[in-house]
Amino acid sequence: MSSADKNLSVFNTNGLPDISKKRFAILVAEWNSEVTERLFEGAYKTLVDYGAAPENIERGNVPGSFELTLGSQWFAQRPDIDAVIALGVVIQGETKHNDYINHAVAQGITNVSLKLDKPVIFGVLTPNTMEQALDRAGGIHGNKGDEAAMTAIKMIGLHENIRKA
Ligand code: DLZ
């Protein structure tokens, strides 16, 4: 299956960890909020559906995707936060800004994750059009927010398994 056809809300859920006591931060970019709100809903619901306590899920807003990096760092610095999920939408073609933003955020989030040694998930859609974005925010291709939340859960599980071994 090509990545364009993948349903972002269908995943293998074997062996997921107990996340009932884990704390999550979800960062939401306000640019393209009609899409990022749907990403948030998907991420939040997936965390709760797979065992997170609602009181253990915090939300923060940033103006645009570019700010996801610093916002993620602020959350990730907190010892009580187990994983950060960064959600944004940068529509290619609308502006040349997209290349700079996408690369900066991908690199920045990777750096934060490595520096603070915890999952910081890149939940940023980079579609060509708004229609493609909506298709991946609860539309025909599922929801990138679901996928980002599941990725956070799986990384928590992987870390636990590696530490136990
Ligand atoms: C400036 C800008 C542009 C042109 N496009 C987007 C976008 O498609 N998606 C997004 O999340 N943010 C965009 N921004 C805002 C930047 O991410 C950032 O907030 C500003 O450049 C201020 O640093």
In this predicted structure, which of 1-5, 29-33, 124-128, 133-137 has the lowest mean pLDDT? 1-5
Question: What are the angstrom distances between the C-alpha of 54 and each of 24, 48, 63, 77, 145?
Answer: 10, 7, 24, 21, 16
| C-alpha span between 45 and 47 (Å, rounded) | 5
Q: Tell me the CA–centroid distance for residue 66 and ligand 1, in Å.
A: 6
Is pLDDT at 117 greater than 90 in this prediction?
A: yes
Domain borders along the chain are: 21-164
Band (pLDDT 50/70/90 cuts) for residue 52 is: very high
Residue 94 CA to ligand 1 center (angstroms) comes to 11
Q: Which CATH architecture has domain 21-164?
A: 3-Layer(aba) Sandwich (3.40)
Probe residue for ligand 1, chosen from 61, 90, 92, 103 as the CB with the greatest number of ligand atoms within 8 Å: 90
159 counts as catalytic: no
Q: So what's the pLDDT on residue 3? A: 59
Average pLDDT, the chain: 94
Digit-coded pLDDT (tens) for 92-116: 876 667 778 999 999 999 999 999 9
Has this prediction a pTM greater than 0.85?
yes
Which helix or strand (DSSP H or E) is residue 118 part of?
none
Residue 113 vs residue 165, higher pLDDT: 113
Chain centroid to Cα 138, Å, comes to 14
Query: pLDDT per residue over 122-158, tens digit each?
Result: 999 999 999 999 999 999 999 999 999 999 999 999 9
Report the pLDDT value the prediction gives residue 4, as an integer from 0 to 100.
Answer: 62
What confidence tier does 120 reach under pLDDT thresholds 50, 70, 90?
very high
